[in-house]
Amino acid sequence: MIVAIDGPAASGKSTVARALAERLGAHYLDTGAMYRAVAHAALEHGIDLDDGAALTALASVSEIGFEHADDAPLPTAVLLDGADVTSAIRTPEVDAAVSAVAKDPGVRRALVAHQRALASGADVVVVEGRDIGTVVFPDAGLKVFLTASAEERARRRHVEMNERGRAVDSQVVLEELERRDTADSSRETSPLAAAPDAVHVDTTGLSIAEVVERIAALVEERVS
């Protein structure tokens, strides 16, 4: 069974999807990390972010994978051509470049095919992204669209950045988040959107545990 978790940046997707995978003993696939890995590779190779053909070629030849300790649900590292890029894909440079990479139809085609292959064979997989319920797995057993107010999302992202030792102005964080939301929602190919049959969960004011329990109950309802 595929559990699709979509939603805008800092809606709580990663935290919730990871905790849910652990709670269910399911596999976990972070598709945002894959777009980030291509953005990182493009920056490393000095590829023009407007050069769709070069980005598509790069996404097609890049070997993106996840390292798992034994059969643990959560990956211990994101790999790009065998190198550990777990931290390198979370820099402000990659944050700024990734929307341009993710809007390229060729990049999306290559990564969607890879995402389908990575999720195949597992019993239950929690897949997190922007287009999982609409494009990657339109037949997912459960589709969840997570939301939270822009202010709440900016507050969470600000706390997260401070924890990583990055002093940034909270207004700048809010503006950057809104810029990325607009770019992700207005692109032509697979924009961020809720599937018509997605269950909407607003995480504003809810704890992670509450959100995870709510979704786990929905999964259990659907498998029984």
In the complex, the residues that contact ligand DC under the rule CB under 6 A are: 9, 31-32, 35-36, 98-99, 102, 129-131, 180, 184
Shortest Cβ distance from residue 201 to ligand DC (Å)?
17
**In terms of CB distance, is 73 or 129 closer to ligand DC?**
129
In this complex, which beta carbon is closest to ligand DC, that of residue 25 or of residue 159? Answer: 159
d(C-alpha 83, C-alpha 68), whole Å? 14
Q: 44: which residues sit within 8 A by CB, 6+ positions away?
A: none
Tokens standing for residue 65? 């994978």
- Residue number, 170 or 189, with CB nearest to ligand DC: 189
Measured from the CB atom, the residue of 163 and 221 that comes closer to ligand DC is 163
Q: Shortest gap between Cβ of 81 and ligand DC (angstroms)?
A: 19
Compute the distance between CA of residue 171 and CA of residue 31 in angstroms, rounded to an integer.
27
Cα-based torsion angle of the residue sequence 79, 52, 135, 34 in order, rounded to the nearest 10 degrees = 10
CA atoms within 13 A of residue 28's CA, in its CB half-sphere: 26
Residue for token pair 């940034």: 168
Least distance in angstroms from the C-beta of 157 to ligand DC? 10
CB of 101 to ligand DC, least distance (A): 8
